[in-house]
Amino acid sequence: MSSLRPVAAFALAATASVSLAGCGINSVPTAEENAKARWADVQNQYQRRADLIPNLVATVKAAGAQEKDILVQVTQARASANQVKLSGDQLTDPAKVQQFERAQNNVTMSLQRLQEAYPELKSQGNYTTLMSQLEGTENRITIARQDYNNAVQAYNTRIRTFPDAVGAKIFYGAKPLTPFAATAPNAQNAPTVNFGNAS
């Protein structure tokens, strides 16, 4: 009888380790860290924009005094966007994610309004370069957001499906992360491009 105890203990340990592995003991934190890393990529792109805009604005500033109002508005929009911070630990709070995205969208909206208000700047080379760089920056942000949403989807699916859901609840108390969602009103509608020509 005593010779069966080590075999039974080994069988129990093997069963427990296989069960834990099947319950997402490692895959849940891996997926969560991946989602947080993708959010860090989004923040990196926002930081790139925050670093790039002042340099581009300085270039445009040299173009003349006429552009002074434009530069002030761009700088104010960028400064207000930089006031709102969001850490990886706050990704489960939809309100904080939405507040952060609203602040970032205000920068883009300010630039679009400026473009409409000052159409004469469109022909200036510095302004064209600024807009090209901003477009590229916004594209990078869009890609980073998509990557983040994909990572959030993978994590949220993992913590909600068997067998990973068992380990996610028992060991980590895992909560779903909040994916990026547009916060601008009517963001689902394509904007109308108006060059001032009557149809």
Residue-wise pLDDT tens digits, 61-120: 666 555 566 667 777 777 776 777 777 777 788 888 888 888 777 777 777 777 666 666
Query: What's the pTM value of the predicted model, to 2 decimals?
Result: 0.58
How many CB atoms are located within 10 Å of the residue 79 CB? 12
Res. 154: pLDDT tops 90: yes
Over residues 126-148, the pLDDT tens digits come to 777 777 888 888 889 889 999 99
Buried b (16+ CB within 10 A) or exposed e, 99-124: ebbebbbbbbebbeebbeebeebeeb
- Helix ranges, 23-93 (H): 27-61, 68-83
In this structure, what token pair is assigned to residue 62? 């040299």
pLDDT at residue 76, as a whole number: 75
Residues 6+ apart with CB under 8 A from 49: 78, 107, 134, 137, 138, 141
